[in-house]
Amino acid sequence: MATPAPGPATGGLQGPLISIVTPCFNSGSTLAATLASVAEQDYPNIEHIVVDGGSTDETLDLLAAAEGIMYISEPDRGRPDAANKGVRLASGEIIGFLNADDTYEPGALRAVAEAFTDPSRPNWVTGYCRIVDGDGKEIRTSVTKYKNFFLRHYSLRLYLTQNFVPDPATFVRKQTLEQAGMLGMDYPISHDYDLWLRVARLGDPAVLRRYLSNFTMVEGTLSMSSFEQQFDEHAQIARRRGKGHPVPVAANVVMSRLIVIAYRLMRRRGAGR
């Protein structure tokens, strides 16, 4: 295990320690950019924990050469298990999850820290997230605008209708996470929606109207290859976590089906070009 070093000393805000947890497995082609996006933040109080599942590519070489991170490498049961290991290792008051092919926007963690030090003391904070391709080029801008619109009008009832809270742009107090419960193993793809709905039952987030992260979407990832399963899980999760809100839960089932249909049409049009 490597020992973490303090983040860049920039002066100014000396807010809470933010622990970033990055699960990874054979992520050698993307991990360097992820690590750099954390290391280059202008907020001085960061702990970056990488939990590797026993990679056989160059991932471990990258981790060994990286400065200012903590990492472990051992077999795990998938992304939720790895993320939970990272949370248990974390010392920070604030937890964020960043996959090994996603990145933070410059200044993101300073903005998050400022939100958590607001007198309202939110339990969790979220913001905007771009969707990018494997080359870092922004794609699906209409989807992003759609999600941002709902995020600006956040309510628990609205969140139960569909998953518009972006996991890489969402942060939670460790104490709140422990109260809500760790990531579950019941949903292979949509475990983040299950987690944030449990957190949402404890109070509304502070919503930052700025981009905090970039989510990478390429062929072969679970979000692409198992798209229909993902939205089936969304409907299951809404039913499970939506006690007392039958109308939004029913709307989730309808919305999930409509999104799958829209996605199929998008893919057909793309294939026809």
Task: Report whether pLDDT(29) > 50.
Answer: yes
**Which pTM was predicted?**
0.90
- Give residue 194's pLDDT: 98
Residues sharing a CB contact under 8 Å with residue 268, sequence separation 6 or more, in sequence order: none
Q: Residue with structure tokens 């742009």?
A: 169
Contact present, 254 and 235 (Cβ < 8 Å): no
Question: Higher pLDDT residue, 273 or 33?
Answer: 33
Domains 1-103 and 118-273 are alike in CATH topology? yes
pLDDT tens for each residue of 135-149:
999 999 999 999 999
Q: What percent of the chain has a predicted confidence (pLDDT) above 90?
A: 83
- Give residue 197's pLDDT: 98
Assigned CATH for 118-273: 3.90.550.10
- CATH architecture of residue range(s) 1-103: Alpha-Beta Complex (3.90)
Contact present, 108 and 34 (Cβ < 8 Å): no
Enumerate the domain spans of the chain. 1-103, 118-273
Label residue 225 by pLDDT band (50, 70, 90).
Answer: low
